[in-house]
Amino acid sequence: MLQDKKGFTIIELLIVIAIIGLLATISIVALNGARQKGRDAKRVGDIRQLQTALELYFNDKNAYPVATTAITLGDATHKVLCDTAAGFQDTTTGCGKIYMGIVPANPLPNGSNYSYTGTATTFNIGFSLEDSTGSYTSGAHTATQDGIN
């Protein structure tokens, strides 16, 4: 007497598992590219916000914050941009007017720290992109009072 058994064979189950694994791998690869583009978009947005805050500082003080050696923006000692002579400092203590309450730092992983140098009439913010974003190519870039290069 033969019994009809209903169900899947081991081969069928292995094929389905392999297909699911392949789809999961493709999804993860695509997601990593989206994360990379998201970090780059944040970097460009951060730099534009910094440029705006520095222009507001310049309008009030008639000079940009002076830094003859490069400082790392967003680190423990350069978290705030306010109307003090130094411009960038660690807290809002002693600030009359705050131009940027939280100075952004490079989103990790990858990229490089945002670095700032400036004189009374010019500034440079260095940053890098992981991939091309908008009209900007991957690699090192500089933002100045005239725009982003």
- Going by C-alpha positions, the residue among 117, 124, 120 that lies closest to residue 145 is 124
Do residues 93 and 135 touch, judged by C-beta distance below 8 A? no
Encoded amino acid at 110, one letter? N
Q: Does residue 2 form part of some domain?
A: no
Q: Has residue 25 been placed in a domain?
A: yes
- 100-128: per-residue pLDDT in tens? 999 999 998 888 999 999 999 999 999 99
- Decide if 4 is inside a domain: no
pTM exceeds cut of 0.85: no
Quote the domain boundaries for residue 16: 11-148
- Per-residue pLDDT in tens (0 to 9) along the chain, 149 residues: 566 778 889 999 999 999 999 999 998 888 888 889 999 999 999 999 999 999 999 999 999 999 999 999 999 899 999 998 889 999 998 899 999 999 999 998 888 999 999 999 999 999 999 998 888 999 999 999 999 99
CB of 92 within 8 A of CB of 139?
no
Exposed/middle/buried for 19, CB within 10 Å: 0-12, 13-18, 19+? exposed
Q: Are 136 and 143 in contact (CB under 8 A)?
A: no
- Evaluate whether 32 touches 74 at the Cβ level (below 8 Å): no
* Domain annotation covers residue 80: yes
Domain-located, residue 3:
no
Question: Total structural domains in the chain?
Answer: 1
